[in-house]
Structure 1
């Protein structure tokens, strides 16, 4: 039986009128006679367009042969006329085709659903990225890259023939390059200093200069900050962990950069370093959050990773409150 030979209902929809909503019971399919229909979903408060259908296209096919609710919403973009075919008649027609054809059709429908899910995820991520391109995390990444470039190429020799990195007019140059307000970029640069990403000191002859800057660290932070901008959010460690992690890094430095300790010894060292009496508890907390790792009653860590985590997370917390 040809489903087109069935007796459909003729329906009309005004511009922007909803034809059906995602989640509603699937009771048939629609053959567009005239007009254009938009298929969309709403995820995380964002409307995601899955495509448009026009004359002679059919909508509602993905769920018509199953008991699943509608997987997307349909809306007329202009005045539309459609033919509506009831599900019951379609299912009877479907049963008349060969079993292998039924299997192929069902498989194809499943694949289309999967592709739609991938498309939704991709478009949602794209919208998140666009939404965060203008964020302070995005701009801090740009500023960090500029600063890394200054460190790599902008060094000058002072009277003692030591390379120094003057920061005079740096924010002004960044203002011209990034086309953002000076005061806004100045806040970000100040945060870089406050959190230890860079250290700015006074030089009698050259004014403000960077003290032993690391372009690699700046570039790593830029990547980190861009990832936050793309995701829109990130899970930070509890702030109370930062002084504990810094203490572990100092302990390593005091012990010839040792990064493996017997658990009980590290607990005592942390107690001494922080002037506390709960070193074992602190070690347990750091292990539980995978800041430290334990094997055979020995605790290991990477000092540089601890330091970067403290700096990057502390800085990112501040950046969240800086408004472009």
Structure 2
């Protein structure tokens, strides 16, 4: 990651009350669900426990924002936490499944005693604000590292945050792909959370662009891991150092479909050891990417053993097959 040498991540810290954040949201001074995030995920029980934590005045985790070029705050990490408090103060739900403050069970914000309402409104959150002009690769790496223990977080979400132009291009070209080919991504194999499915689909498309770059440039990021190679690729797309060759992608997608004998294709996340275990016209994203790599490079098919969704795999492993 040569682009981060002698760089720092510029972060300021502010203590902001929930009442102040409520006013900022009302005035449009911060974005609760920016385009790189795929919606809020907490249910009523999770929201209620967070409100209970605030009422008990327990320490609350830092909220992470980025400040854009006009001073608006964009939430990067902590949207569900802020939403839990702000939504409750707007009387959109009632507290439930409280393990400690059971006397507040079933109460909306307007049902609370005035002292409890004030306690919530004056709850202070420690907010880290990333400067907009910080290095993009460092922003990406920072978001990945603070989510190491978050099972629902995918690294592609960090790339979508740090490289918004790259993210927009990927989304647009994915739409073109859907219109050009009769293909779909089966969400049942991704669990119930739709945002995970969307992030995996975006990584799938990004990996095809990575294969295009390897084909044209003849290098495989030998001294790095797949995750860092994808970060670097997004950085280069963001800064217009790499162009997406749509004809290369479409031609080789068609070659894979011809090899499989599919008129339409359903992509799933889970891989099977045998094609016979897939349903009709179904194949895993990773198996498809391996075939895509093989047909684009003129290699013998069904020989590549590489996991394009393992961010910690060495890119040098691909050179074994060339």
TM-score bracket, shorter-length normalisation: under 0.3
Relative contact order, higher structure (CA 8 A, sep 6+): 2
Name the TM-score, length of structure 2 as normaliser.
0.22
Q: Which has the larger radius of gyration?
A: 1
The structure that is strand-richer by fraction is 1
Name the TM-score, length of structure 1 as normaliser.
0.22
